[in-house]
Amino acid sequence: MEENNRPLLERRSAVAALLQDIDDNFLIVASVGTPTLDVAAARERPQNFYVRGAMGTASSVALGLALAQRQKRVLAVLGDAELLMTAGSLATIAVMAPENLSLIVIDNERYGETGLQIAATAFGVDIAGMAAAAGFSPTAEIRSPGELESARDAILKGPGPSLHVIKVRPEKPEKVPLPYDGVFLKNRFRQALFGDEGII
């Protein structure tokens, strides 16, 4: 599918392609709504921390995790509206400069959880450009499977903080059954990191 003659990716297949080979030392923070479901559809596992019901916080949660777990790789999977809600986090992340942190923004140019209303990036707001101006490197916009494959090593292995915007079709994919219990998700994630001592 193309928009204004520019290609767009299908979000579920893009996230699945990105996450296909990750191991247990790879930690994922997924933001409210469809990004959480994209990650769960691709690789549901205890090392995923799903931010449920706290829109705008996932980038900051990922920063804290990257600083606390420097020996592990941390990936934040965010929606465009999610990140723009607290865009100031880009400055904080750039200043703290965790080399083990990558952000990907699944940008459908819509408010996906409230009816696919048009969002700011549809009017030209450039999240990758904002991140580059803050001090992220590398940053890029991805629109094709080839571009995603070329960026994969930088996203998963390269020095951060990095930010890649994956431009996707404005669609509502199928729901994925996941628990909404925040305490359960927190304890499951802590147990994956620290064993039984992590359960509080």
**pLDDT bracket for residue 33 (50, 70, 90):** confident
Say whether pLDDT at 179 is over 70.
yes
55-110 pLDDT, tens digit each: 889 999 999 999 999 999 999 999 999 999 999 999 999 999 999 999 999 999 88
Question: Residues with Cβ < 8 Å from 91, sequence gap 6 or more?
Answer: 134, 135
Rounded distance between C-alpha atoms, residue 34 and residue 97, angstroms = 27
Alpha carbon 147 to chain centroid distance?
17
The owner of tokens 């996906």 is 112
**pLDDT bracket for residue 141 (50, 70, 90):** very high
Q: Which two tokens stand for residue 198?
A: 């992590």
pTM over 0.85: yes
Q: What percent of the chain has pLDDT over 90?
A: 76
Residues of 73-100 as b/e, b for ≥16 C-beta within 10 angstroms? bbbbbbbbbbbbbebebbeebbeeebeb
Rounded distance between C-alpha atoms, residue 19 and residue 77, angstroms = 11
**Sign (positive/negative) of CA torsion 186, 76, 80, 1?**
negative
**pLDDT bracket for residue 140 (50, 70, 90):** very high
Which is more confidently placed, 147 or 175?
147
Closest CA to 182 of 61, 75, 100, 83: 61
Mean pLDDT across 103-131 = 89
* Cβ-contact 110, 33 below 8 angstroms: no
Rounded distance between C-alpha atoms, residue 178 and residue 119, angstroms = 26
Q: What is the pLDDT of residue 19?
A: 95
Mean pLDDT across 31-56 = 92
Q: Which two tokens stand for residue 125?
A: 């707001």
The owner of tokens 């915007």 is 165
**pLDDT bracket for residue 198 (50, 70, 90):** low
Rounded distance between C-alpha atoms, residue 83 and residue 168, angstroms = 16
Mean pLDDT across 135-159 = 96
Say whether pLDDT at 180 is over 90.
no
* Cβ-contact 162, 103 below 8 angstroms: yes
Closest CA to 167 of 1, 15, 11: 11
Say whether pLDDT at 4 is over 70.
no
